[in-house]
Chain A
Amino acid sequence: MNDNRWGLPDLGLGVGLRTTHYAHILSERPKIGFFEILTENYLDTGGRPLFMLDQISERYPTVMHGVSMSIGSTDPINFDYLAKVKNLAERTGSLWVSDHICWTGVLGRNTHDLLPLPYTEETLAHSVERIKIVQDFLERPLVLENPSTYLEFADNDMTEWEFVARLAGEADCGLLFDVNNVYVSAYNHGYDPVTYIDAIPADRVCQYHLAGHTNKGTHIIDTHSDHVVDPVWELFGYTIRTVGLRATLLEWDADIPPFEVVHQEVLKAGDWRRQEVANVA
């Protein structure tokens, strides 16, 4: 299996750290490879969330996943925010810091949504420049996730997968490959997800995401509110055959069930990983 170019470890199977699971994690010490935290939830608190995070990051590897870097925005980069992200990364020992290929607001506002970028040469050049600045500031790999999108701009110069591959190469950053997001966007825009996966530069992929979604008929919303559907598991199998084994995280952010349910769901990814390793052997 291929490795990523930074030699970042395959942390195995992880789940997103959610407040409703704190007590279970600390009392039961579940056997799990890593936790991923929502960065912004821990930047401005000195209370219980940070206390819990300190205990959990002492016991488990922790990586940070943000939603407010707004890497494609035409607003100035927020260095106060980045300084807090960097401090938290040092506190938790996060091996990498991730966010999304998107923008979240302009003119000083934040919509708190992962808004889609037009896949143009202009956007590419703009985003590459900003990623380089952010990586220099953070002094650790920035890993960016392909988002779920619900619209396409007419003036795109390239496909999303061409954009993602060029962005990662030209900015020299990592990728967090969200398999569910590829499925969602492929459904919404009518392309073949396998074409997307085939175009992803394997050596830049540092982590995978899996999640459930909500199918509205006319489109799919990436709600992180349910089990992973079978076609996404199939795509995950194809991805690890194509790209290799990477730290694999299950996201479950709405209608959050007990920890055991989330844990069982991510263990299914372990079955797929073992199967692919066996096939290679």
Chain B
Amino acid sequence: MSLERPELARLQHWMQEVVVHPGTVEEAIESDAAKNEIPSERLSEVVLPSHSMTSAERVDVYHGMYLMRMEEALETDYPVIRYRLGDHQFAHLVREYVQRYPSTSYTLNRLGDHLPQFFLDQPNWPEAAFLHDLARLELAMTEVFDEEESPVLGAAELEAVPSEAWEEARLRPISAFRLLAFRHAVIPNLVAFHEDRPSPSPRRRATWVALYRRDYSVLRLELSRAEYDLLKAIVDGAPLGEALATAAASKSQRQQAKVFRWFRTWISEGLFSAIES
């Protein structure tokens, strides 16, 4: 290979291969991908040594900072997973994850978007199924945090709906809303993180959660299966009459009262942005 003087593109391809390599800088420089651009024995002809550092040590400044930066970014979005795994295992996770899903965006804010999928793809990863659920929860929290602001359906708009129109009316959720079903008890881990208590071990327990934003804070409602089913029907666009009747059908008066109490809570919490009648 001729290396009179590497073109800018070749130099950049080489440097990126070295910087993002998961091993040591020596392994990175010796990797096939890097050597394909610049032979390792030519390193000092490409990067000058300084008075105190070799060429490889100077490249290692960039190489070493790459994973630290990725770790910082993923810790910002996944603090509960970081808390569960601890320093060493989280660093290992980050190294593996960014090899599979490197950043292709101008922002680090969405670096972790594939973490739930990563755990699905890696069923042998310790606690993979639980971490998949936990990653879905934390990813949804970041999405709710960043969603566009929506108008919130107010009492006046509800009162303006004629009584005969309620049966066919449909409610539209605010943008900053996510409805989630999990196979594991993820909330105790979230609470333990916030209360600085030991992270509980994974436990299988069906869990239903609504995440939403109010006054720019991300909030959650923990739901029963029945609440989840009703809320899902509503946000999926079912007419209110049909959704409420299904939820309350063949149930006691007490159950019916409970359904209407749920409904009032969701309205007062600002989960909906509009009613279409």
Residue ranges of A at the interface with B (Cβ–Cβ < 8 Å): 40-41, 43-48, 51, 68, 72-74, 78, 81, 103, 105-113, 115, 117-118, 120, 122-123, 126, 150-155, 188-190, 217-219, 221
Given contacts A108-B104, A111-B20, 8 further A-B contacts (CB under 8 A): A47-B145, A47-B146, A47-B149, A47-B216, A48-B217, A218-B52, A219-B52, A221-B61
Most buried by A among B8, B55, B145: B8
- CB-based contact A155/B16 at 8 Å: no
Inter-chain contacts of B69 with A (CB < 8 A):
112-113
Q: Does B107 contact A (CB under 8 A)?
A: yes
Q: Does B139 contact A (CB under 8 A)?
A: no
Determine the chain B residues whose CB is within 8 A of the CB of A109 once the complex forms.
16, 20, 102-104
List residues of chain B with CB within 8 A of the CB of A152.
47-48, 50, 58
- From A44, A46, A78, A218, B175 is in contact (CB under 8 Å) with A46
B46 and chain A: residue at smallest CB distance: A154
Contact of A151 (CB < 8 Å), options: B9, B58, B65:
B58
Measured between C-beta atoms, what is the minimum distance from A124 to chain B in Å? 10
**How many Å lie between the Cα of A123 and that of B11 in the bound state?**
11
Complex Cα gap A51–B145 (Å): 12
Does B153 sit at the interface, judged by CB under 8 A?
no
Q: Find chain A residues with CB under 8 A from B73 CB.
A: 112
Residue in B46, B52, B53, B103 whose beta carbon sits within 8 Å of that of A112 in the complex: B103
Chain B residues contacting A41 (CB-CB under 8 Å) are 107, 109
Closest CB of chain A to B232's CB: distance in Å? 24
4 A-B pairs closest in CB distance:
A46-B148, A68-B106, A48-B216, A151-B58
Closest to A217 in B: B52
Complex formed: what's the CA distance from A68 to B104 in Å? 11
Chain A residues in 8 Å Cβ range of B7: 122
In the complex, the answer to whether B105 meets A218 with C-beta atoms within 8 Å is: no
On chain B, the residues within 8 Å of A73 by CB distance are 12
Please state if A74 and B57 are interface contacts (CB–CB under 8 Å): no
* Cβ contact within 8 Å between A113 and B66: yes
Given the known interface contacts A73-B12, A113-B69, the answer about A78 and B106 at a Cβ–Cβ threshold of 8 Å is: yes
A261 and B59 CA atoms in complex are apart in Å by: 34
A51 touches B53 (CB 8 A): no
Among B16, B20, B109, B216: residue with most chain A CB under 10 A: B16
**A-contact 0/1 string along B81-95, CB 8 Å cutoff:** 000000000000000
**Is B51 engaged at the interface, CB distance under 8 Å to the other chain?**
yes
**Residues of B contacting A154 in the complex (Cβ-Cβ under 8 angstroms):** 44-48
Q: Quote the shortest CB–CB distance from B37 to chain A (angstroms).
A: 11
Q: Does B19 contact A (CB under 8 A)?
A: yes
Closest Cβ of chain B to A212, distance in Å, is 17
Q: Specify which of A46, A74, A111, A155 is in contact with B147 (CB 8 Å cutoff).
A: A46
> Are A153 and B66 in contact, with the CB atoms below 8 A?
no
Chain A residues lying within 8 Å of B211, measured Cβ to Cβ, are none
25 A-B pairs (CB sep. < 8 Å): A40-B109, A44-B107, A45-B146, A47-B145, A47-B213, A48-B216, A51-B149, A68-B106, A105-B16, A109-B104, A110-B106, A111-B19, A112-B69, A115-B15, A115-B19, A115-B62, A120-B8, A122-B8, A123-B8, A151-B55, A152-B47, A152-B50, A154-B44, A189-B50, A219-B52
User: A221–B61 Cα gap in the complex (Å)?
Assistant: 9
User: In the complex the two chains form, what is the Cα distance from A113 to B53 in whole Å?
Assistant: 21
| Inter-chain contact B57/A218, CB cutoff 8 Å | yes
Instruction: Give the complex CA separation of A147 and B216 in angstroms.
Output: 35
How far, in Å, is B52 (CB) from chain A's closest CB? 4
A50 to B103, CA, bound (A): 23
> Are A153 and B51 within 8 A (Cβ)?
no
Q: A106-B16, A111-B66, A115-B15 are in contact. Are A150 and B108 (CB under 8 A)?
A: no
Q: Nearest Cβ distance between residue B17 and chain A, in whole angstroms?
A: 9
- The answer to whether A46 and B149 touch across the interface, beta carbons within 8 angstroms, is yes
Q: Are A107 and B13 interface neighbours, CB within 8 A?
A: yes
Can you name the residue of chain B whose Cβ is closest to the Cβ of A120?
A: B8
Q: A112-B69, A123-B8 are in contact. Are A150 and B147 (CB under 8 A)?
A: no
Question: Which chain B residue has the least Cβ–Cβ distance from A118?
Answer: B11
